[in-house]
């Protein structure tokens, strides 16, 4: 091939490469911008203080977003902190002893409340009775009480005595606990030690049972994703 023709081919190849590079540099920002818009919007954090009619701080009030209960509650100073989706519209503070407060979020990140008496229509609207029953379910029971004496095995005891636990045969599920794994079995801790099974424990040996879920299981990492059942026996070192 003549040298002149070869040089022309090389020049055309170089032009093509430069053109491709220019197109990449031009369209790359557009592609990245498109990827950013596909991301889920970040959650918004709302904080504030809750007081009763006498301006006293309200402890233990539950926070609802768009009428759905969250895991957040007010602390002893009446302070709360809750994360919401950017499109959330309504925040509600509900205390079974002090009343209710409602507010439109409207992009605000700080909302304070003074609670007022809850009305009959609000009780129906928020399924008040069901919320109250769930709020006052104990997560720990002392099984030394005589009313727990009739159970023949540990699974029967969990099914009949421990709120928030579903037992089918030897399979246990903590209601309200969630997991990204295929397993739904909780983590078992007996006298401070993790065990794979509680089958060998007789109800007569049990001093107390505690059920943990949600943020209370954080210290157990991913193993506690389906909840944790802590059993303390009468023969444990702490009870001797």
Model pLDDT, residue 142? 80
Q: Which residue has the higher pLDDT, 168 or 113?
A: 113
Write out the two tokens for 88: 């959330």
User: What's 140-239's CATH class?
Assistant: mainly beta
Mean pLDDT of the residues in the chain? 80
Q: What is the mean pLDDT of residues 25-52?
A: 73
Query: What end-to-end distance do the CA atoms of the chain give, in Å?
Result: 98
**pLDDT surpasses 50 at 238:** yes
* pLDDT attached to residue 47: 96
Residue 8 has pLDDT above 60, yes or no: no
Q: Please state the domain extents for the chain.
A: 1-39, 44-135, 140-239
Say if residue 112's pLDDT is above 90.
yes
Task: Reply yes or no on whether the pLDDT at 173 is more than 50.
Answer: yes
Cα separation, 238 vs 76, whole angstroms: 30
Tokens of 156: 């029967």
Spatial contact of 230 and 238, defined as CB atoms under 8 Å apart? no
DSSP three-state, residue 227: coil
- Count the residues in the chain: 240
For residue 218, what pLDDT is reported? 74
Sequence-ordered strand ranges (E) for the chain: 44-51, 62-65, 68-73, 79-84, 90-95, 99-104, 113-114, 140-142, 165-168, 171-174, 187-190, 193-195, 206-212, 228-233
Q: What is the pLDDT of residue 180?
A: 47
Is the pLDDT at 1 greater than 70, yes or no? no
The answer to whether the 44-135 and 140-239 domains have the same CATH topology is: no
Mean pLDDT to the nearest integer, 156-180: 77
What's the rounded mean pLDDT across residues 150-173?
Answer: 85
Counting residues of the chain whose pLDDT is more than 70, the rounded percentage is: 74
The model's confidence at residue 216, banded by pLDDT at 50, 70 and 90, is: confident
From the centroid of its chain, how far is CA 183? 18
Fold of 44-135: Immunoglobulin-like (2.60.40)
What local confidence, expressed as pLDDT, does residue 78 receive?
A: 93
Task: Using the predicted structure, report yes or no on whether residue 136 has a pLDDT greater than 70.
Answer: no
In the numeric block, which tokens belong to residue 54? 């006498």
Backbone dihedral angles phi then psi of residue 135, each to the nearest 5 degrees: -65, -35
Indicate if the pLDDT at residue 156 is higher than 60: yes
Lowest mean pLDDT among 13-17, 51-55, 215-219: 13-17
The 3-class SS string of 100-128 reads EEEEECCCCCECCEECECCCHHHHHHCCH
Does 210 have pLDDT greater than 60?
yes
Q: In degrees to the nearest 10, what's the CA dihedral of 138, 160, 165, 221?
A: 70
pLDDT band at 174 (very low <50, low <70, confident <90, very high): confident
Kindly state the average pLDDT of the residues 138-162: 78
Strand partners, 140: 210
Q: State residue 141 phi and psi, 5-degree precision.
A: -125, 145
SS3 category, 194: strand
């Amino acid at each position: 091939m003549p040298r002149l023709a070869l040089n022309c081919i090389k020049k055309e190849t170089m032009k093509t490469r430069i053109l491709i590079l220019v197109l990449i540099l031009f369209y790359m920002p557009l592609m990245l911008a498109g990827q950013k818009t596909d991301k889920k919007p970040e959650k918004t954090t709302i904080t504030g203080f809750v007081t009763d009619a006498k301006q006293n701080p309200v402890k233990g009030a539950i926070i609802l977003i768009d009428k759905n209960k969250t895991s957040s509650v007010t602390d002893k100073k009446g302070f709360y902190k809750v994360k919401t989706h950017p499109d959330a519209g309504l925040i509600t503070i509900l205390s079974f002893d002090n009343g209710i407060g409602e507010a439109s979020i409207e992009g605000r990140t700080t909302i304070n409340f003074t609670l007022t008496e809850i009305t009959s229509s609000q009780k129906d609207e928020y399924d008040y009775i069901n919320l109250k029953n769930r709020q006052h379910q104990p997560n720990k029971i002392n099984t030394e009480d005589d009313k727990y004496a009739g159970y023949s095995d540990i699974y029967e005891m969990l099914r009949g005595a421990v709120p928030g636990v579903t037992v089918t045969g030897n399979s246990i599920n903590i209601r309200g606990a969630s997991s990204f794994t295929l397993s739904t079995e909780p983590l078992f801790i007996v006298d401070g030690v993790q065990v794979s099974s509680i089958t060998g424990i007789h109800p007569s040996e049990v001093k107390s049972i505690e059920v943990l879920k949600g943020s209370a299981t954080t210290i157990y990492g991913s193993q506690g994703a389906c909840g944790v059942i802590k059993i303390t026996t009468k023969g444990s070192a702490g009870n001797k």
